[in-house]
Structure 1
Amino acid sequence: MPTLFIDPGRLSQELSLEEPRYDMDDAGSLVVAWTEIGTLWAQVEPIDAGVRWLGEQALPEATHRITLRMRRDITSAMRLRKGNRIFQILTLHDPDESGRYLVCRVREEVQ
């Protein structure tokens, strides 16, 4: 596979990498708290915006492609944050299998 050229200068947006921590509240319900485990520099590119249906409720949805330097500890259970914007990781892949970069397809949680 040919090596893909990604301009490292385009990784200009600082994002926080967060992982979920699960705990039980006083009523015995599962509570998820997000903990920042690091910051990274990335390129965020919008892909699509539209509506996702949940039952009969329309939910706005925006998807993005986020390119960052390779980190082998990132999983799809984690999320990325930029200020108040939250990006849920849907897929991860190495675009040219060189181990240099990681491309994440994410869904922005529109509030």
Structure 2
Amino acid sequence: MSAIALDPGQMSARLDLEMRSDVGDGQGGIVQGFITVASLWARIEPVAMAEEERADEAVFTVTHRIWIRFRADLEAGMRFRKGGRIFTVRAFYDPDETRRYVVCRCVEEGR
């Protein structure tokens, strides 16, 4: 397999990588939260968009490929944040198995 030729200058989006960090609510339940693991540069590629109606409200879902430098600590369920936008990581892979880049398949939901 040949190495991917990616211009690092295409990684122009500054994202925060967040992982889930649940906290007890004091009554036996949990409150879902996230903490920032790292800030990094990424390349965001929109792939597809779908729209549906939930509770009389239009909701759109956009899938993205997000390219970042290789990280060994990624997990499905982590997310990227860019301002108010949230990209949830569904899957990820090393496109040329050289441990230089990781491509994350992400979903962004919005109203």
With the length of structure 2 as denominator, give the TM-score of the two structures.
Answer: 0.90
Structure 1 residues not aligned, in runs of 5+: none
Structure 2 match to 1:60:
60
Whichever residue aligns with residue 37 of structure 1, its letter is V
Structure 2 match to 1:69:
69
Question: Partners in 1 of 2:72 and 2:94 — Cα distance?
Answer: 10
Matched residue SS, 1:76: coil
Give the CA deviation at 1:59. 3.6
Structure 1 residues 60-90: Cα deviation after superposition (integer angstroms, max 9, x where no partner): 2111110011011111121000000000001
In the alignment of these two chains, the number of paired residues is 111
Q: RMSD value over aligned CA atoms?
A: 2.0
Structure 1 residues 99 and 61, CA, compared in 2 at 3 Å: closer, same or farther?
same
Give the CA deviation at 1:53. 7.4
Matched residue SS, 2:9: helix
Structure 2 residues not aligned, in runs of 5+: none
Structure 1 residues 21 and 98, CA, compared in 2 at 3 Å: closer, same or farther?
same
Matched residue SS, 1:51: strand
Structure 1 residues 52 and 94, CA, compared in 2 at 3 Å: closer, same or farther?
farther
Q: Percent identity?
A: 39
Matched residue SS, 2:51: strand
Structure 1 residues 90-111: Cα deviation after superposition (integer angstroms, max 9, x where no partner): 1100000111000001001214
Whichever residue aligns with residue 49 of structure 2, its letter is A
Structure 2 match to 1:2:
2
Q: 2:19 aligned with 1:31, yes or no?
A: no
With the length of structure 1 as denominator, give the TM-score of the two structures.
Answer: 0.90
